[in-house]
Amino acid sequence: MLELRGVRHRYEGRVVLELEEFTVPRTGTVSVVGHNGAGKSTLLRLLALLEPPTEGQVLLNDTVVPRRAPASLRRRVTLVEQRPVLFRGTVRENLEYGLQVRDIGRAAAKGIIGDVVERLGLQPLLSRRRHELSDGEVQRVAVARALVLRTDVLLLDEPASSADRAAAGALYRALSAERAARPFAVCIASHQLEDAYRWADDIRALADGRLSPVTPENLFRVELPAGDGVKTVRVGSIALVVMTDRAGPAVVAVPPTDIFVSREPLPSSARNVFKGRVTGLAIEHRGAGVHVRADMGGVELVAAVTAEAARDLALTPGGAVVFSFKATAVQVF
Amino acid sequence: MDFLAEAFRRAWGLLVAGDSEVYGIALLTLKVAVVATVLSCAVGLPLGYFLATRRFWGRRAALTVVNTALAFPTVVVGLLLYGLLSRRGPLGGLGWLYTWQAIVVGDVLLALPIAAALSAAAIQGVDPRIRRTAETLGAGSWRTAWTVAREARFALAAVITAAFGQVVAEIGAAMIVGGNIRGSTRTLTTAVALYTAQGDFGLALALGLVLLMLALVVNIALQVLQGRGHA
């Protein structure tokens, strides 16, 4: 288990990260979401023990990590940066690097590397050098280089940012296979919510270096029934109409901007229409937008409208409101 | 022109004939240069790495001192060292004045700032992600430094060449603390100065050519080593 306690981290006097507590559970998968500059990469560098926090502590399995973390502790955590680099030499030499550092013999190293190479489809790249690889391939090699180390904690900073969809899928499948074979903690920082949903035991949002109480809105874990096309799933007390061919456990998300807000139900093509009461109004985007929170019978939904629309609808906390959205607006992950 | 041609002929004759004095001076120069380059780089390269990668109080001042020392006049270094090594100096007990070891010390003092300042610049030019990546893959301090140095190998080879160039071409300190003693501390540069002053232009030119060849051979050797590297 990797923990940050009472951390305040500064760069050139400016606080860039402030976390009372942040934990990556022993075999958990944590996704940290946030915009560029929210502090995700800084958080991962602290968790990777690459730099000590200006204030506060890092704990690895309940042991406080010294300010200058010894290599023995650093070897239990590894980080794949957002734009990873490969060392001089072949892909194979890169994959061997961390194993050599750990004094793992050639035969054992070959076996470990072989498994990961197979999972990530890197066989054709093994004798290539970094200038012969695409950005996506570099990213896959970097993930493989981290996976072969079998660390307790794997930190990934935007692991699929340079990969196309197929490559990203292969990457995540390889991670799943690795975790199935050997449970370990994973913490992924991403500004792509899809990555987060795919992995999240726990999604945490970071904004301006702080954990934001506002997690990505309208996210629900559901059990999708078998079959193709339009399906109805229960989310608490409401029934959500979703269009997907997928079945089984999934995360569904309704983008707040896709929700149509009115005072009364209106005739429309929307398959999802929920009546409820406004629980909060938050001004966003320097006053141009308003986030309308509403309780739809025990389930909170958030819709985004313009400030002008909010005024015209005379939305007030406690007032009646109707949220409508199409089945195709519901994203399934 | 005849005078120059004659000098060249004489120089060539001395070199071809394997003149013992010429080759003795060349060997001593090579010995001093290699020992001084190895010592200055052994200290200067790690110092450059330290200055480039560590953040500590006074780092900027240390870099300024090292950079300023690049322009240290060789005769001033020779003079200071003479004061230290002379019989009444604090290091007089070593008995190193007018020995090749004294020349090595002077050369090390002159080449050290080159090795430190230029290697610091070379290391600073390496993508900082290389160091972070090595660390996050579990490398200790030495392994990390080696990994970063490998990435800067071309620039570091140039640093070694520059240090060798400084050492082999230096005359001020070698003259003052070496004393230009025949068969003992006479290096190529001090000998060239002496023979030119004595009017033996042919011998001076022969020694000058040896000096140039020495520099050429070392540079070619370093280039061959660099050429073996791959990305």
Residues in chain A: 333
| Look-up of token digits 């990457």 | A171
Q: Which residues of A touch B152 (CB under 8 A)?
A: none
Give me the mean pLDDT over the B68-90 stretch.
92
Q: Which residues of B touch A50 (CB under 8 A)?
A: 132, 135-136
Of B129, B135, B151, which has the smallest distance from its Cβ to A74's Cβ? B135
Of A85, A101, A102, which has the smallest distance from its Cβ to B130's Cβ? A85
ipTM: 0.78
What 3-state class would DSSP assign to A196?
helix
The answer to whether the Cβ–Cβ distance between B139 and A81 falls below 8 Å is no
Contact indicator for B157, B228 with CB cutoff of 8 Å = no
- Search chain A and give the residue with CA nearest B55: A51
Q: How many CA atoms lie within 13 A of B119 on its CB side?
A: 30
| Mean pLDDT, all residues of chain B | 91
Q: State residue A251's pLDDT score.
A: 77
CB neighbour list of residue B68: distance below 8 Å, 6 or more residues apart = none
The answer to whether the Cβ–Cβ distance between B150 and A129 falls below 8 Å is no
CB neighbour list of residue B62: distance below 8 Å, 6 or more residues apart = B51
Q: How far apart are CA A160 and CA A192, in angstroms?
A: 9
Q: How far apart are CA B175 and CA A138, in angstroms?
A: 56
Q: What is the pLDDT along chain A (333 residues), one digit of tens a residue?
A: 899 999 999 998 899 999 999 999 998 889 888 777 889 999 999 999 999 999 999 999 999 999 999 999 999 999 999 899 999 999 999 999 999 999 999 999 999 999 899 988 899 999 999 999 998 899 999 999 999 999 999 999 988 776 666 777 778 888 888 888 888 999 998 866 666 666 667 888 887 898 876 556 788 878 899 988 899 999 888 999 999 988 888 878 888 889 999 999 989 999 999 999 999 888 765 567 788 999 998 888 999 899 899 899 999 899 999 999 999 999 887
Q: Which residues of A touch B137 (CB under 8 A)?
A: 78, 97-98, 101, 145-146, 149
Of B129, B229, B230, which has the smallest distance from its Cβ to A85's Cβ? B129
Residue A214 vs residues A22, A25, A110, A289: alpha-carbon distances, Å: 16, 21, 46, 16
Q: State residue A73's pLDDT score.
A: 93
Q: How far apart are CA B221 and CA B48, in angstroms?
A: 23
Q: How far apart are CA A302 and CA B83, in angstroms?
A: 82
